[in-house]
Amino acid sequence: MFVRKVSMRLKADAASEFIRKMESEIIPLLREQKGFLDEMTLLAQSGKEVYAYSFWESSTDAEKYDKNEFARVTGLLSGRNRGSPPRAHLHGGKLHFSQDGRRVAS
């Protein structure tokens, strides 16, 4: 499993519009992508920082999304971020189980 982490800073009072865009446009777009498994978005209590994690079957799938679709997502979020555009990082690992049965990534 591979994880893409995207971080960005939002403009003041842009959190609710960001959430709406994620739910109505970005999540549906992700679900159409080959190898996409799930997505988790964390919004700081201040409403000014966002960390979004998307989970992929392989690094190839994640890299293909990054190359072909990420610019489109960045465009959908334009006007809501403050400063530099969203930054993406790819993290990979194998999924295994701990002794107590919990799934953990390595």
Q: Catalogue all structural domains in the chain, each as residue range(s) with its CATH number.
A: 2-105 (3.30.70.100)
pLDDT score recorded for residue 87: 56
Mean pLDDT score of the chain: 79
- Which range has highest mean pLDDT (19-23, 31-35, 56-60, 94-98)? 31-35
Asked if residues 83 and 90 have their Cβ atoms less than 8 Å apart, the reply is no
For residue 69, the SS3 value is: coil
Give the span between the Cα atoms of 77 and 24, in whole angstroms: 12
List the one residue out of 31, 74, 28, 25 whose CA is nearest residue 50: 74
Torsion of CA 1, 36, 86, 75, to 10 degrees: 170
pLDDT tens-digit series, residues 73-106: 888 877 665 555 555 555 665 444 445 444 444 4
Token pair 């960045």 in the structure block, residue? 74
CA–CA distance, 96 with 77 (Å, rounded to integer): 35
At 101 the pLDDT is 46
